[in-house]
Chain A
Amino acid sequence: MSTKEKIKKILVEELNLEDITPEEIMDDAPLFGDGLGLDSLDAVELVVLVQKHFGVEIKDMDEGRPALQSVDSLAAFIEAKSRL
């Protein structure tokens, strides 16, 4: 399973997005606001989930804000951190 596929699965299962399937999530769709409709509590949850499932820590807002824009950006962040 690719990083993007794993992220989508986590989004649906761990954030209980019962009205959408992982396959329906677009790679470049915004995670927050008009896109997937996540909110600030989801952001906190996502920080925990990324560390738990990928072993990658999002240390602060400076890292988190660009990383949590979309599945694309989050996958790129995780893959970049994993290479370090």
Chain B
Amino acid sequence: MKAAGIRGVGLVGSFGCGTGALENSLRKGPKPPEDLVFFVSGRERRIPVHAVDTSPLDNFVSKREIRRIDHFSRMALLGAFLALEDSGLTDASRDSLGLIIATGYGAIRTTFAFLDSVLVDGDSFASPTLFSNSVHNAAAAHVAIQLKITGPSLTVSQFEMSVSSALLTALRWLDQGRVERVLFGGVDEVCSVIGYCHERFFGDSGGRIQPFAANRHTAVAGEGAAFFLLDRQEESRYGLITEVRQGRITKAVPFPEKGSYIINADGHPGCFSLYRQLFRPEAEVAAFANHYGSFPSGQSFDLAIAALALRNGIFPSISGQEEMPKGWRYPGVVGKKGITCLKCDGEGYLGAIGLKGG
């Protein structure tokens, strides 16, 4: 497949809104998570999460227009608006613009709100608005309507492999000439069910993701949307996506040995052990999940950081770098071999996205 150029990047995360907010977070250190309050058998529980404020969406669309759009879709919509704005292609035709959204959980907050309403009040009281937003492709529908995108639209959910899986399709659409551009994004949200699961299955995270912690759980649930405007241009200020691979994890590193890697190590020691198996001792490796949180489509934020590093020619200067495994070092100048964003899941699969300067 031919490479795809990254023309625009739109981000909304716990760090704030836009690429500048993420760069600020990388420079100054991650914002502390906030408490998510939920109830288990009537007892109040609190768990730290990286939560998102979507109020900047007011800059793009009126409150009335988004009144039936839930938090999940609002994050997607804000990310999409920002990516389109960043690309400078706001006036370009939307007829040949495709839309692909990757999500691990979908609109999980709305899905469970709908199910709860059926369980508590009965199916005759089920809200049609909650139902319409509970389906996985609701966000893509809202984005397409608000941005007047009339090209093909797709939502891909393959849990932690969602981003690489969806990106494969985006590259295929561009390669086939099915569309001229693709608005591609990863989005996931946090909710009380996620909070309950984190507390139930992982226990106390300590409130701070330590990506390279090998022996303890430090995952802090997060949410956000990272969108990209992709096209077939061979020159792009954010670089090119040259390759996307998925498959079973083997002992071989999936991309050029001397490139730099951004791994989506997000505080799950089981997954981190897989990354350790893959790399040589002198590998150039970075991990940034402590800036946006732990969620299935978090790899889309690594893709954004890789794009920013390619634009700047150098990896971000970061505050509070975590201690790394012996021999690994933090990347500096982006070399000719580029950057690989690597995601390993708990089932022994990997998704790898290769980027180079454009």
Which residues of B lie under 8 Å from residue A41 when comparing CB positions?
A: 68, 128-129, 132
User: Is B127 an interface position by the 8 A CB rule?
Assistant: yes
Number of A-B contacts (CB under 8 A): 29
User: Is A19 an interface position by the 8 A CB rule?
Assistant: yes
Q: What's the nearest-Cβ distance from chain B to residue A16, in Å?
A: 4
**Contact pattern, B 103-128, Cβ under 8 Å of A = 1, otherwise 0:** 00000000000000000010011111
Q: What's the nearest-Cβ distance from chain A to residue B119, in Å?
A: 14
User: Is B43 an interface position by the 8 A CB rule?
Assistant: no
Q: What's the nearest-Cβ distance from chain A to residue B123, in Å?
A: 11
Pick from B62, B68, B125, B128: contact of A16, CB under 8 Å = B68
Beta-carbon contact of A48 and B125 below 8 Å: yes
User: Is B326 an interface position by the 8 A CB rule?
Assistant: no
A45 touching B129 in the complex, CB below 8 Å, given contacts A19-B62, A52-B121: yes
A37 touching B129 in the complex, CB below 8 Å, given contacts A51-B124, A52-B121: no
Which residues of B lie under 8 Å from residue A45 when comparing CB positions?
A: 127-129
**Contact pattern, A 46-67, Cβ under 8 Å of B = 1, otherwise 0:** 0010011000000000000000
Which residues of A lie under 8 Å from residue B62 when comparing CB positions?
A: 19
Which residues of A lie under 8 Å from residue B68 when comparing CB positions?
A: 16, 41
Beta-carbon contact of B125 and A19 below 8 Å: no
User: Is A34 an interface position by the 8 A CB rule?
Assistant: no
Q: How many of A's residues come within 8 Å of B, CB to CB?
A: 12
Q: Once bound together, how far apart are the Cα atoms of A45 and B125, in whole Å?
A: 9
Q: What's the nearest-Cβ distance from chain B to residue A35, in Å?
A: 13
Q: What's the nearest-Cβ distance from chain B to residue A67, in Å?
A: 18
**In the complex, given contacts A19-B64, A48-B126, what are 8 additional A-B residue pairs having Cβ atoms less than 8 angstroms apart?**
A16-B67, A17-B67, A19-B63, A37-B64, A41-B132, A44-B128, A48-B125, A52-B125
Q: What's the nearest-Cβ distance from chain A to residue B8, in Å?
A: 29
Q: Considering only CB atoms, which chain A residue lies closest to B69 in the complex?
A: A16
Q: Considering only CB atoms, which chain B residue lies closest to A48 in the complex?
A: B125
User: Is A18 an interface position by the 8 A CB rule?
Assistant: yes
**Contact pattern, B 236-262, Cβ under 8 Å of A = 1, otherwise 0:** 000000000000000000000000000
User: Is A15 an interface position by the 8 A CB rule?
Assistant: yes
Q: How many of B's residues come within 8 Å of A, CB to CB?
A: 13
Residues on A lying within 8 angstroms of B by beta carbon are 15-19, 37, 41, 44-45, 48, 51-52
Q: What's the nearest-Cβ distance from chain B to residue A12, in Å?
A: 10
A51 touching B125 in the complex, CB below 8 Å, given contacts A15-B67, A17-B67, A19-B64: yes
A18 touching B63 in the complex, CB below 8 Å, given contacts A41-B68, A52-B121: yes
* 14 A-B residue pairs with CB within 8 Å: A16-B67, A17-B64, A18-B64, A19-B63, A37-B64, A41-B68, A41-B128, A41-B129, A45-B127, A45-B129, A48-B125, A48-B126, A48-B127, A52-B121
Which residues of A lie under 8 Å from residue B129 when comparing CB positions?
A: 41, 45
Q: What's the nearest-Cβ distance from chain B to residue A51, in Å?
A: 7
Beta-carbon contact of A48 and B67 below 8 Å: no
Q: Considering only CB atoms, which chain A residue lies closest to B67 in the complex?
A: A16
Beta-carbon contact of B127 and A18 below 8 Å: no
Q: Which 7 A-B pairs have the closest CB atoms?
A: A16-B67, A18-B63, A19-B63, A44-B128, A52-B125, A19-B64, A48-B125
B19-35 contacts to A (CB < 8 Å): none
Which residues of B lie under 8 Å from residue A16 when comparing CB positions?
A: 67-68
Q: What's the nearest-Cβ distance from chain A to residue B132, in Å?
A: 8
Q: Considering only CB atoms, which chain B residue lies closest to A17 in the complex?
A: B67
Among A19, A37, A45, A48: residue with most chain B CB under 10 A:
A48
B113-165 contacts to A (CB < 8 Å): 121, 124-129, 132
Which residues of A lie under 8 Å from residue B67 when comparing CB positions?
A: 15-18
Q: Once bound together, how far apart are the Cα atoms of A52 and B68, in whole Å?
A: 19
